[in-house]
């Protein structure tokens, strides 16, 4: 492609909202174009890079036995009502009506649609296992679209679904997809880590998230350097502190004026925060938006409540729970903001972190302004409706598998795999007949990759101050020829020769033949991040050009033939 003919508009300035490198660079290099918040279009170079990622995914999915299909983005509400997710998905589901008032949504994911295909088309064990996938546009009306392609409202996803006769088959399908994901992200040159994950609104039992390591990522993972434990922080199990061998002391009410926080009360009573009980107050809503129940959750004072674990314990859709208004909840349940404890609450679900059950003589709010209770003990003084692990595994806490201190890292979730089991096949009636004509639900798995988010993650991991540094496998073009003086006949001839030869060799080449100053061309070449740059300048008369890799500082002067053969070699080695 001749750059003089390419639709390319690079920008000097980017909007303030672009905070992270991938967002800034993809916009500055003119690869993506914002339409409205969370909705982006792709310009020629950006689209080529996205297609490279798609093709890597496609190759690996096909090799793993997947069959590509393409379903519509528009989905009828009825099918979501069947699975129960029309309501459970909440406001992220982009709903719309047709002219007759019939409800539809724009698919955020396609479990229902794929389950519908197999329940219609599959009837016998002979047709299983099967893996169907698509690379298609998804819609999620995200509460906070941000970071460009990272969290957008319209994005491209590869979603695959496996269908097996039994759970052993599912394990095999799941492992095949897991291995394919490792190959895909390796080929995309990502530094990533598969970690155990929560199953969220998709449902099912097991799940792994593939996380590209990055400071700007929205996922936080906990991992152990001593063993192979690695999980999202939401998922990571947290070991209960071991109780001291203590006698229960007499329960006492003490005056603690103005101590509305754990810090304040611990300071006032001169005790460690780990000798206190922290209360967090929530309200859940029903289908109609009316209050369903109040929830008081209790963890040790120095702990952080893990919202995902709490939501799982309560078994409510994520969008139906929020922090309660203390005054309103106090009126209904007897809690007192800043002084809430687990004793004497009425009309509310009490969720107690498992650790508190063993610990003795703690301090908790007295449900009375300016008072706390001391020597509070589970069983004797209060009980919970739900007792489970609802705390967050912090950096330095003991590893749930080997006990050594865990580490934390941030990352970008680029893909996730789930063992769905029979959740959808049972609710939607996707059955098959075995050898004896007996009916069984099909056992399912689902596997997603954010294509456009992966593109952003690649840029996030491969850039410098001057621009993108595309890894060869996903680069929109392999080589850029910078023609310093397009009017110079010899230079133009040499550049054309290199261009034609490389194209014949299957290399994807841009020829920067624009009538711009050399400085502008070099700046743009760096910004666009094409892996190999061949500069054709004054020395072209002597058959000499400059060869440079975007990822390295060094440039070398070589003969035209040598530049061509070096470029062909590196492209075939790395693409």
Q: Residue 196: which of ligand ATP, Mg ion, none does it interact with, CB under 5 to 8 A by kind? A: none
Give residues 484-543 in contact with ligand ATP (rule: CB under 6 A). none
> Helix (H, G, I), strand (E, B), or coil: what is residue 149?
coil
Helix 451-461 with 21-28: angle, nearest 10 deg = 100
> Which residue of 107, 448, 531, 537 would you call a contact of ligand ATP, by CB under 6 A?
448
58 DSSP β-pair partners: none
- Stretch of 147-155, 179-187, 313-321, 356-364 contacting ligand ATP, by CB under 6 A: 147-155
DSSP 461-473: HSEETTEE---GG
Name the token pair of 427.
């609710």
CA–CA gap between residue 545 and residue 411 (Å, rounded)? 41
Helix 451-461 with 44-63: angle, nearest 10 deg = 110
Residue nearest to ligand ATP (CB): 450
Nearest approach, Cβ of 388 to Mg ion (angstroms)?
A: 23
Q: Is 131 in the site for ligand ATP (CB under 6 A)?
A: no
Give residues 303-322 in contact with ligand ATP (rule: CB under 6 A). none
Q: Is 109 in the site for ligand ATP (CB under 6 A)?
A: yes
Distances (CA, A) of 523 to 141, 152, 318, 362: 37, 29, 47, 63
Nearest approach, Cβ of 197 to Mg ion (angstroms)?
A: 7
Q: Residue 155: which of ligand ATP, Mg ion, none does it interact with, CB under 5 to 8 A by kind? A: ligand ATP
CA–CA gap between residue 490 and residue 469 (Å, rounded)? 30
Considering beta carbons, is residue 76 or 194 the nearer one to ligand ATP? 194
Question: What number of other Cβ atoms are within 10 A of residue 20's Cβ?
Answer: 19
Nearest approach, Cβ of 206 to ligand ATP (angstroms)?
A: 14
CB 533 within 8 A of CB 526: no
Segment (H or E) for 558: strand 555-559
Cα atoms in the Cβ-side hemisphere of radius 13 Å centred on 84: 11
Going residue by residue from 383 to 422, which x/- string records binding to ligand ATP, judged by CB under 6 A?
------------------------------xxxx------
Q: Residue 262: which of Mg ion, ligand ATP, none does it interact with, CB under 5 to 8 A by kind? A: none
Going residue by residue from 374 to 413, which x/- string records binding to Mg ion, judged by CB under 5 A?
----------------------------------------
Q: CB neighbours of 175 closer than 8 A, spacing ≥ 6?
A: none
- Stretch of 54-62, 427-435, 450-458, 503-511 contacting ligand ATP, by CB under 6 A: 450-458
CA–CA gap between residue 525 and residue 518 (Å, rounded)? 10
C-alpha radius of gyration, the chain, whole number: 29
Residue nearest to Mg ion (CB): 416
Cα of first residue to Cα of last residue in the chain, in angstroms, is: 19
Give residues 236-275 in contact with ligand ATP (rule: CB under 6 A). none
CA–CA gap between residue 104 and residue 117 (Å, rounded)? 18
Q: Residue 152: which of ligand ATP, Mg ion, none does it interact with, CB under 5 to 8 A by kind? A: ligand ATP
Considering beta carbons, is residue 416 or 491 the nearer one to ligand ATP? 416
Q: Is 151 in the site for ligand ATP (CB under 6 A)?
A: yes
Give residues 186-205 in contact with ligand ATP (rule: CB under 6 A). 200, 202
> Which residue of 155, 174, 192, 477 would you call a contact of ligand ATP, by CB under 6 A?
155
Angle among Cα 190, 193, 195 to the nearest 5 degrees reads: 150
Cα dihedral 269, 270, 274, 279 sign: positive
Sheet arrangement for strand 252-255: 252-255, 371-376, 362-365
* 544-549/532-536 β-pairing: antiparallel
Number of residues that bind ligand ATP (CB under 6 A): 17
Question: What number of other Cβ atoms are within 10 A of residue 270's Cβ?
Answer: 6
Q: Residue 140: which of Mg ion, ligand ATP, none does it interact with, CB under 5 to 8 A by kind? A: ligand ATP
> Which residue of 453, 463, 514, 521 would you call a contact of ligand ATP, by CB under 6 A?
453
The closest alpha carbon to 51, from 455, 460, 505, 414, belongs to 455
Q: Is 425 in the site for Mg ion (CB under 5 A)?
A: no
Nearest approach, Cβ of 138 to Mg ion (angstroms)?
A: 12
Q: Is 416 in the site for Mg ion (CB under 5 A)?
A: yes
Nearest approach, Cβ of 18 to ligand ATP (angstroms)?
A: 16
Q: Which residues bind ligand ATP (CB under 6 A)?
A: 109, 140, 142, 151-152, 155, 157, 200, 202, 413-416, 448, 450, 452-453
Query: Which parts of this chain interact with Mg ion (CB under 5 A)?
Result: 416
């Amino acid at each position: 492609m001749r750059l003089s003919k390419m639709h390319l508009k690079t920008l000097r300035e980017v909007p303030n909202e672009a905070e992270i490198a991938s967002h800034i660079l993809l916009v500055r290099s003119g690869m993506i174009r914002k339409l409205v918040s969370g909705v982006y279009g792709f310009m020629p170079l950006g689209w080529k890079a996205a297609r490279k990622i798609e093709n890597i995914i496609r190759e690996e999915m096909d090799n793993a036995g997947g069959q590509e299909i393409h379903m519509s983005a528009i989905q009828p509400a009825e099918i979501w009502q069947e699975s129960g997710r029309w309501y459970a998905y909440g406001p992220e589901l982009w709903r719309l009506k047709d002219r007759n008032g019939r409800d539809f949504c724009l698919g955020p994911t396609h479990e229902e649609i794929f389950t519908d295909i197999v329940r219609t088309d599959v009837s016998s064990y002979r047709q299983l296992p099967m893996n169907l996938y698509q690379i298609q546009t998804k819609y999620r009306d995200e509460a906070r679209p941000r970071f460009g392609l990272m969290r957008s409202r319209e994005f491209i996803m590869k979603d695959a679904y496996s269908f097996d006769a039994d759970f052993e088959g599912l394990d095999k399908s799941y492992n095949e997809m897991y291995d394919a994901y490792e190959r895909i992200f390796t080929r995309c040159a990502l530094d990533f880590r598969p970690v155990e994950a929560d199953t969220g609104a998709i449902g099912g039992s097991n799940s792994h998230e593939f996380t590209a390591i990055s400071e700007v990522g929205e996922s936080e993972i906990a991992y152990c350097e001593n063993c192979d434990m690695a999980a999202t922080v939401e998922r990571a199990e947290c070991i209960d502190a071991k109780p001291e061998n203590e006698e229960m002391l007499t329960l006492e009410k003490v005056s603690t004026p103005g101590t509305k926080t754990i810090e304040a009360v611990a300071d006032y009573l001169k005790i460690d925060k780990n000798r206190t009980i922290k209360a967090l107050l929530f309200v859940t809503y029903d289908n109609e938006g009316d209050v369903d129940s109040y929830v008081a959750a209790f963890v040790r004072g120095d702990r952080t409540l893990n919202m995902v674990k709490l939501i799982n314990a309560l078994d409510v859709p994520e969008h139906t729970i929020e922090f309660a208004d203390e005054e309103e909840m106090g009126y209904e349940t007897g809690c007192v903001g800043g002084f809430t404890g687990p004793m004497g609450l009425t009309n509310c679900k009490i969720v107690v972190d498992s650790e508190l059950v063993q610990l003795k003589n703690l301090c908790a709010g007295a449900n009375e302004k300016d008072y706390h209770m001391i020597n509070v003990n589970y069983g004797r003084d209060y009980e919970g409706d739900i007792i489970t692990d609802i705390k967050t595994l912090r950096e330095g806490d003991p590893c749930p598998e080997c006990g050594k201190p865990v580490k934390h890292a941030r990352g970008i979730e680029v893909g996730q795999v789930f063992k769905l089991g029979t959740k959808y096949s049972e609710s939607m009636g996707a059955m098959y007949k075995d050898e004896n004509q007996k009916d069984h639900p099909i056992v399912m798995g689902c596997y997603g990759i954010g294509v456009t988010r992966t593109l952003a993650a690649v840029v996030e991991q491969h850039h410098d101050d001057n621009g993108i540094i595309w890894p060869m496998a996903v680069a929109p073009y392999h080589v850029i020829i910078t023609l310093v003086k397009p009017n110079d006949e010899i230079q133009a001839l040499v550049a054309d020769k290199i261009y034609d030869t490389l194209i014949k060799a299957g290399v994807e080449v841009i020829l920067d033949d624009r009538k711009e100053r050399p400085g502008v061309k070099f700046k743009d070449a760096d910004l666009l991040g094409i892996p190999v740059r061949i500069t054709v300048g004054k020395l072209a008369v002597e058959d000499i050009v400059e060869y440079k890799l975007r990822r390295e500082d060094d440039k070398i002067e070589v003969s035209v033939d040598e530049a061509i053969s070096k470029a062909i070699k590196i492209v075939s080695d790395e693409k």
